[in-house]
Amino acid sequence: MRNTEIIFGFRAIIEAIRNGTEIIKILLQNGLTSSLYHELLYEIKKYKIPYQYIPSEKINRLTKKNHQGAIAYISPISYYSLENLIPVIYEKGIVPFLLMLDSITDVRNFGAIARTAVCAGVDALIIPDRDSVTVNADAIKASAGALFNIPVCRSNNLISVVEYLKNSGIHIIAACEKANKKIYSTDLRIPLCFILGAEDKGINPTLLKFADEQISITVSGAIASLNVSVAAGIMIYETRRQRDFRCSY
């Protein structure tokens, strides 16, 4: 989390949480027992903020100041509530177009996807709050600042998000390299959310079961799969093409 703003000390972090500051993650020194520590831990669990225990020597390397055993990484953006965002999209008369990124950890891929999404008018990005990229300084740099220009929603349960989107009339399409149906024969003019997974693991199998359909991109040659940011770009712009030219099927 290089180049990301931090705050430290129990009281400062507690007040930041209570005032709605977007926090990426909190690091806690092993062996804490004070009442302020327990107060902070209560707030962390109440607001479901990712946290991790680390040795004292590691936390001391992060700052030489009086951290009291607690450091918080502050997000440079404010995350959006999907439940508030979807009604606004519909009210504007826009056909929803969302991207869900499952367990993508490479900030360069994340930044490239965000940049393409902004250029093509994607309405929002959805990411999990664990085992995933976060919107930090490196990701913003990789996106060339695009992450300041698109709503990012973060959730601790992507399956619940998928169920909410389905109930909101949004079609869930999972990108899978082994899927028989190709993107070019899929109607993408409807309200939709693409799910893309990490290159090494793909989409979580449990999450994949909740997709309405699975599609793939035609690949020929010695390499059987695409970089996830390239795949995202193809899918995004095929959707844009169909919507702009009103393709019929």
Q: What is the CATH number of the domain that holds 144?
A: 3.40.1280.10
Residue 1 lies in a domain: no
Given 74, 93, 124, which residue is the final one in a domain? 74
**CA 169 to each of CA 67, 85, 90, 144, 157: distance values in angstroms, whole numbers, following the listed order:** 47, 14, 10, 32, 19
Residue 239 lies in a domain: yes
Q: What is the pLDDT of residues 197-240, one digit of tens each?
A: 987 788 999 999 999 999 998 887 666 678 899 999 999 999 99
User: What is the H or E stretch that residue 85 is in?
Assistant: helix 82-91
Domain that holds residue 29: 6-74
Q: What is the pLDDT of residue 191?
A: 97
Q: Can you tell me the mean pLDDT for 6-24?
A: 88
Q: Are residues 91 and 69 in the same domain?
A: no
Q: What is the pLDDT of residue 3?
A: 46
How high is the mean pLDDT of the chain?
90
Given a cut of 90, is residue 5 above it in pLDDT?
no
Which pLDDT band holds residue 1 (cuts at 50, 70, 90)? very low
Residue 108: partners with Cβ closer than 8 Å, 6 or more residues away: 142, 229
Dig out the tokens for 80 from the structure: 């959006």
Q: Are residues 51 and 174 in the same domain?
A: no
- The CA distance from 58 to 36, in Å, is 21
Given 25, 53, 74, which residue is the final one in a domain? 74
Q: Are residues 67 and 87 in the same domain?
A: no
- The CA distance from 104 to 43, in Å, is 27
